[in-house]
Structure 1
Amino acid sequence: MARIALISGSLRAESSNSAVVATIRKIIEGRAGGHEATVVPLHDFPPFDQDVERAGHPAPLESARGQVSGADALIVCSPAYNGYPPGVLKNALDWLSRPGGESPLTDLPTAVLSASPGQAGGANVQPHVRRILANCGAAAVECDEVAVGDAISLRTSEGLIEDPATVSRLEKLVDAVLAAAAR
């Protein structure tokens, strides 16, 4: 059994990235082996501030750190805001990477994908997110790039992605992550 933490870099209620994450969660939990997937919420993270860190991590951060610490792997789905990851995602990764030597991201198998209303699916954000994660000590999962284009039109009213071609690509990413988690 693998425990996978999932992060959507978007806070919007009807986010395409969150729909991709929800779909991945459904795929993981549907796999044989009793795998678990948990979504790490980013809504209540304060801006990173070392003074706040010294005073003690805020409760939402401690909860997120616990989810990531207890995970065998991490999947991050990011939108592209002007070609870069949103500040909320970068801020969360900054918090999770601290303090040095105690980061739950260190050596954690991690996969990155993106979703966007545009045709390219936010593919241009992925190298940036991978670089941030590498700087945080995460271990990249080798898998085909997944960038979900036209993601708004693919999101169902239930908040999932059901397009067979997209689901197939997500299943391959999940398989790569589960294999990495098993190592």
Structure 2
Amino acid sequence: MRVLGIPGSVRQDSHNRKLLRAAAATLPSGVELELWDRLAELPHFDEDLERGPAPAAVQELRDAIAGADAVLISTPEYNAGVPGVLKNAIDWISRPFESHPLRDKPVAVVGASTGLFGAVWAQAEVRRVAAHIGARVLDHELPVGLADGAFGDDGTLSDPEQVAALAAVVQALVDDARVLEKA
């Protein structure tokens, strides 16, 4: 089984990339996490670009989602909302609306931010948009606040309670994907 991890930040050392790596460490046996961290390569969504073949990065993201059993999105929060690059990716993914690769795909959203609340507003917004476009969105969240101090030097989450909460979100995502697999 394969989970696609999408960090909502383009910064190489982002807290949300670290959070996805921490999630990978909690995966059950036989499940792998593939990181898709090329949001910066996606062009701004433009319906004019839909008239021809999809831009290469857009097609690669669509293919990566289509080939995954589930998707785990880790989002920061910029100005009390979802980062533009992540929203842009979701806009591209949602086309064509009737048959996009995220439709009926299990999706979980977690987040880390340097503020106290751990990107809860951005997580809620990503869940809302993903549900609107037809993804099977899990009603879980994991806010990792004060993220500058939440990770050890090795990139792992420092708080055992957050590690356990992250493992629970990941397990729920894997369980939902397995339910679909059996259907």
Q: How high is the TM-score relative to the length of structure 2?
A: 0.91
> 1:25 touches 1:37 (CA, 8 Å); kept in 2?
yes
Quote how far apart the aligned CAs of 1:130 are: 1.1
CA distance in 2, matches of 1:39, 1:117: 22
Could you tell me which of 156, 160, 164 is aligned with 1:164? Answer: 160
Alignment match of 1:61 (pick from 53, 58, 61)? 58
Change in Cα spacing, 1:67 to 1:162, as seen in structure 2 (3 Å) is farther
Q: Deviations over 1:18-56 (max 9, x none)?
A: 11011112222xx22x11211122120000111112221
In 1: Cα distance, 2:55 partner to 2:25 partner: 30
Q: Distance in 1 between matches of 2:63 and 2:70?
A: 13
The answer to whether the 8 A contact 1:14-1:159 is kept is no
Which amino acid is the alignment partner of residue 6 of structure 1? G
Does the Cα contact within 8 Å between 1:111 and 1:140 map onto a contact in 2?
A: yes
- Root mean square deviation, CA, Å: 1.4
TM-superposed deviation, 1:155: 2.5
Are 2:21 and 1:4 equivalent residues in the alignment? no
| Amino acid paired to 1:132 | V
Trace 1:31-70 onto structure 2 (pairs within 5 A).
Answer: 31-32=28-29, 34-41=30-37, 42-70=39-67
Gaps of 5+ in 2: none
Distance 1:103 1:75 in 2: 17
Cα pair 2:97 2:133 within 8 Å, conserved: no
> Shift of the alpha carbon at 1:142?
3.6
Instruction: State the partner residue of 1:15.
Output: 14
**Separation (CA, whole Å) in 2 of partners of 1:141 and 1:49:** 29
Give the alignment of 1:95-106 within 5 angstroms.
Answer: 95-106=92-103
For 2:152 and 2:11, the matched residues in 1 are separated by 15
Identity, in percent, stands at 38
- Count of aligned pairs between the two proteins: 178
1:119 paired residue number: 116
What displacement does 1:102 show?
2.2
CA distance in 2, matches of 1:156, 1:43: 26
Q: Is residue 173 of structure 1 aligned with residue 133 of structure 2?
A: no
Contact 2:4 2:35 in 1 (8 A): yes
Query: How far did 1:160 drift?
Result: 3.4
Structure 1 runs of 4+ aligned residues shifted over 4 Å read none
Deviates more, 1:7-16 or 1:85-94: 7-16
- The alignment's TM-score, normalised by the length of structure 1, stands at 0.91
Q: Which residue of 2 aligns with 1:149?
A: 145
Aligned residue in 2 for 1:107: 104
